[in-house]
């Protein structure tokens, strides 16, 4: 019998609701009256998503970031939010204050108004966030064109290293440890960059399920081949990986929760996008191009290696 991983469970739900599209985009979109409403919900569960060394304020903020990141990938401004919180009966007032602080911080940062929600008892802490915005047109995951360039909004690989440090022990030089842990507890979604440059994207997708998952999904949905000729990492990650004999490829492509995004664009937009990236302090990296065919391949010394979807699964 097939293992019940998340994609399998999602399939059961999708089949049940008779909708092919449920879950095939970063955000949900629906018409109410004269507007296209964009909505996204995300859940943070104590036992699976919150390392014990993570502050509850950071966890609360991150539960909003997870949704904001999907809005960022689509270049849509989230305006309103609803927050549902489950709390164990034994929780202290100071922990609750910490949680509120984290939500408030995120709302200020991304200019979101909380309009409601609910609080419940439960065996563990659960944050469920639902954000709303409007848009005229949605950049999809599927419209990359042959000849398009592939970009990411920042370097990858830190979250996987940072999570190991939070769960196990810190290793590596101080600056690197700090950077890696920060990538887990204070992720920065690229909202202003996404909003500003959306018009140039032929396709885009939030990368938080892992870069290999994201690239494979975009390639599959657009029925194009993606060639990656520059793996998006920086020297400090390479040094760390060499020193501790880790697998660089795995950290970069299969880490997940980076809250960066991938976009494709026509080469004619390269200059303007790069200029906008500097203005919004977003360190975008060009990592490859779109061509005809299928699958995602990493190009190295003129050899192509298939990049499998091996990103993060919730189950």
Feature table: binding site for substrate: 49, 257, 312
CB-nearer residue toward a copy of itself: 89 or 271 = 89
Q: Give SS3 for 116.
A: strand
Residue found by looking up tokens 């887990």 in the block = 184
Among 54, 55, 104, 299, binds a copy of itself (CB under 8 A): 104
Task: Check: CB of residue 156 under 8 Å from CB of residue 258.
Answer: yes
Q: Which is nearer to a copy of itself, 135 or 264 (CB)?
A: 135
Q: Kindly identify the residues of this chain, within the stretch 244-273, that bind a copy of itself according to CB under 8 A.
A: none
Q: Could you identify the residue written with the tokens 């980076």?
A: 258
- Strands (E) located in 251-314: 261-265, 285-291, 296-300, 303-306
Least Å from the CB of residue 12 to a copy of itself:
5
Q: Please check whether residue 40 is in contact with residue 71, taking contact to mean a CB–CB distance below 8 angstroms.
A: yes
305 token code pair = 């290696």
CA distance 43 to 256: 16
* Residue numbers belonging to the annotated binding site for ATP: 117-118, 141, 208
Does position 10 interact with a copy of itself (CB under 8 A)? The reply is yes
Query: Using the rule CB under 8 A, is 302 a contact of a copy of itself?
Result: no
Alpha helices (H) in the chain, listed in sequence order: 6-17, 46-49, 56-74, 93-110, 158-167, 174-185, 191-197, 211-222, 235-243, 248-254, 270-279
Is residue 207 a contact partner of residue 309, using CB atoms and an 8 Å limit?
A: no
The annotation places the binding site for Mg(2+) at 26, 41-42, 70, 118, 206, 209
Sites for a copy of itself among residues 70-89 (CB under 8 A) = 79-80, 82-87, 89
Q: What are phi and psi of 44, to 5 degrees?
A: -115, 120
- Residue 132 is a binding residue for a copy of itself (CB under 8 A): yes
The single residue among 51, 54, 55, 96 that binds a copy of itself, judged by CB under 8 A, is 96
Considering only residues 223 through 242, tell me which ones interact with a copy of itself, judged by CB under 8 A. none
Query: What residues are designated binding site?
Result: 26, 41-42, 49, 70, 117-118, 141, 206, 208-209, 257, 312
Q: Which residues bind a copy of itself (CB under 8 A)?
A: 1, 4, 6, 9-10, 12-13, 16-17, 19, 22-23, 27-30, 32-35, 37, 39-43, 45-49, 79-80, 82-87, 89, 91, 93, 96-97, 100-101, 103-104, 107, 113-124, 126, 128, 130, 132-134, 314-315
């Amino acid at each position: 019998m097939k293992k019940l991983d998340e994609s399998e469970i999602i399939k059961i739900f999708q089949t049940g609701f008779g909708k092919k599209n449920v879950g095939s985009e970063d955000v949900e979109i629906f018409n109410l009256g004269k507007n296209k409403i964009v909505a996204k919900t995300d859940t943070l569960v104590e036992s699976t998503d919150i390392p014990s060394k993570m502050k509850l304020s950071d966890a609360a903020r991150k539960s909003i970031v997870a949704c904001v990141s999907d809005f960022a990938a689509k270049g849509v401004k989230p305006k309103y939010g609803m927050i549902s919180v489950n709390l164990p009966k034994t929780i202290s007032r100071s922990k609750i204050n910490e949680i509120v602080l984290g939500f408030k911080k995120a709302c200020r940062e991304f200019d979101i108004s909380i309009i409601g929600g609910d609080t419940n008892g439960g065996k563990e802490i659960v944050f469920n966030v639902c954000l709303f915005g409007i848009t005229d047109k949605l950049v999809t995951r599927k419209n990359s064109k042959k000849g398009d360039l592939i970009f990411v909004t920042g370097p990858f690989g830190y979250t996987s290293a940072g999570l190991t440090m939070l769960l196990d022990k810190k290793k590596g030089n101080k600056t690197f440890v700090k950077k890696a842990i920060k990538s887990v507890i204070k992720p920065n979604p690229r909202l202003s960059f996404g909003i500003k440059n959306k018009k140039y994207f032929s396709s885009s997708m939030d990368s938080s399920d892992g870069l290999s998952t994201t690239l494979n999904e975009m390639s599959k949905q657009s029925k194009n081949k993606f060639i990656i000729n520059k793996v998006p990492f920086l020297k400090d990650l390479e040094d760390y990986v060499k020193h501790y004999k880790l697998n660089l490829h795995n950290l970069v492509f299969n880490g997940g929760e980076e809250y960066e995004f991938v976009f494709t664009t026509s080469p004619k937009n390269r200059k303007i996008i790069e200029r906008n990236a500097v203005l919004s302090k977003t360190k975008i990296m060009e990592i490859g191009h779109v061509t005809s065919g299928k699958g995602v391949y990493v190009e190295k010394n003129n050899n192509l290696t298939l990049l499998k979807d091996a990103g993060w699964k919730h189950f």
